Amino acid sequence: MYFINRESELKFLNQKWSEEKFELIVLYGKRRVGKTELMKQFLKDKSGVYFLADKRDPSSQLAELTEIIGKELKNTLLEKYPAKDWLDLFGILKTQIKDRFILIIDEYPYLTEVDKATGSVFQKAVDEILKDTQIFLVLSGSSISMMENEVLDYASPLYGRRTGDILLKPMTFKNAWKFYPTLDFNQFLEFYAVLGGLPAYISQFDPKVGLIENITQKILTPGLLFNEINFILRTEFREPTNYFDILRVVSNGQRKFSEIVNSVNIPSNQLTTYLQTLENLHLITKEHAVTDNPAKSKKGLYKIQDNFYKFWFRYIYPFKSYLEIGKMESSLQKFNEDHQTNLGKIYEEVALELIWDITSNHPKLFTLEKAGRWWNNNEEIDIVGYNKDQKKILFGECKYTQKPVGMSIYTALQEKAKQVDWQNEDRTEYFILFSKSGFTVEIVDFAQKVENLVLVSGIEEFA
């Protein structure tokens, strides 16, 4: 896998490294987001070791880790010395290491699963052994909820000991595109609509062949991507059936709480807990109209956070039995039926992601305070952004069609904007139109004459 982007995270880690004092860095994020690659990139020119924890008994893991450290330090005696416990190991580090040294423990939650006292032991190690050393300790984990509970939460033993933390998020469209620099905007949008922003998935496709061939060879054929989501969810949940059902119906467009509860065999009072768990794991998110107060709004819609999860639940999960014997026709037919509509939705999401860069660099527009989608009853607007202090509001529409966008789209957006209840008596309105296929001569001429309308073809120039 290529190592792409993550400049801000590496800069943060290297800044901490340069301070030459004890550090406890917490790095967490969902599986396949690139934590291991980031850690190895940080470690590659420094003294230190990387250790992947698992669910074996602690003595076996301590013996293995002590051996790894002994080899790194070229200490043959230490290689053969099995540390008695974690405090013994950290004591060894204190006596044997006088210069900067990195110890990365990946999948730290596995240690706490095996021994519930691990957090308290690490707390004691930090307070009594490590705090005056130059050791750079990194605790990493893919279970977001467990990392928060065991390390970050106020009630956890290690609370207040960390000197920094990174929640590693999926790559943006802009950065994911760097995996495929030979593809134009529309070609990569098709890849991104399927693969999403997790590096382990982004890197799987071959840019030399078309979308359908990639899907056929890399996803619908049993292998890594074919089995991936099933494996991850069964690892995360002891009883995954209800979670599968929820993700399935949300992927298929049933996004209201009432629609979900009517489609799964889960009582409404229990469904809330399941949904909250999926939110905590960053598998789904609850979206609110941008002008609504999330604490008071009852119009929230649930959505799958990652494009590949959505793809898997729409085109693999329902057809898995057929796909396992090589029958792909039904899955591909369903995908082809949905493809253009789905690309339109992904285009909207990418435009919303990039609207911050566009507005901050465009002379006609203003700095946004907040941006998102807006909907009410049967009307919706793809992008609404505003700045309360400046009393300015932006309305945007995205069209991923073969026809150039004309004045009718602009006038329709103006009418919908009247329904948005936000500083109605005292606001300045701006408009932005995104079009895959450009614009008519009429609206281009009009936009040049007014100060509150911006036209964006594709968005390639901003990506």
Check residues 223 and 268 and name the one with the higher pLDDT.
268
Per-residue pLDDT tens for 406-455? 999 999 999 999 999 999 989 999 999 999 999 999 999 999 999 999 99
Question: CATH 3.40.1350 residue ranges in the chain?
Answer: 346-462
Cβ partners under 8 Å of residue 325, min gap 6 = none
The residue with greater pLDDT, 149 or 207, is 207
pLDDT tens for each residue of 179-208: 999 999 999 999 999 999 999 999 999 999
For residues 280 and 331, the model is more confident at: 331
Task: Give me 88's structure tokens.
Answer: 């013994």
Alpha-carbon distance of 206 to 180, in angstroms, equals 9
The residue among 83, 105, 94, 133 whose CA lies nearest residue 36 is 105
CA distance 388 to 138: 40
Q: Give the model confidence (pLDDT) of 288-332 as tens digits.
A: 999 999 888 888 999 999 999 999 999 999 999 999 999 999 999
363-401: per-residue pLDDT in tens? 999 999 999 999 998 899 999 999 999 999 999 999 999
* Residue labelled with tokens 């329709």: 412
Which residues lie below 8 Å from residue 450, measured CB to CB, with a gap of 6+?
Answer: none
| Model confidence pLDDT, tens digit, residues 36-91 | 999 999 999 999 999 999 999 999 999 999 999 999 999 998 888 888 999 999 99
Which pTM value belongs to this model?
A: 0.91
Tens of pLDDT, residue by residue over 105-128, are 999 999 999 999 999 999 999 999
Strands, DSSP E only, in 46-134?
Answer: 48-52, 101-106
Q: What angle do CA 210, 216, 218 make, to 5 degrees?
A: 90
Please report the pLDDT score of residue 2 as a whole number: 53
Domain 346-462 grouped into CATH 1.10.520: no
The domain 174-340 is placed in CATH, from the list 3.40.50.300, 1.10.10.10, 3.10.129.10, 3.30.1300.10, at: 1.10.10.10
Q: Is the pLDDT of residue 1 over 70?
A: no
- Tell me if 331 sits within 8 A of 315, measured CB to CB: yes
Specify the domain boundaries for CATH 1.10.10.10 within the chain.
174-340
Burial class (CB in 10 A: 0-12, 13-18, 19+), 461: exposed
Query: What is the rounded distance in angstroms from the CA atom of residue 456 to the CA atom of residue 454?
Result: 7
Nearest to residue 372, comparing CAs of 296, 300, 295?
A: 300
pLDDT at 5 over 80: no
What percent helix, strand, coil does the chain show, rounded to 5?
Answer: 50, 15, 35
Pick the CATH number of 7-167 from 3.40.640.10, 2.60.120.10, 3.40.50.970, 3.40.50.300: 3.40.50.300
Q: Report how far residue 245's alpha carbon sits from residue 254's, in angstroms, rounded to the nearest whole number.
A: 11
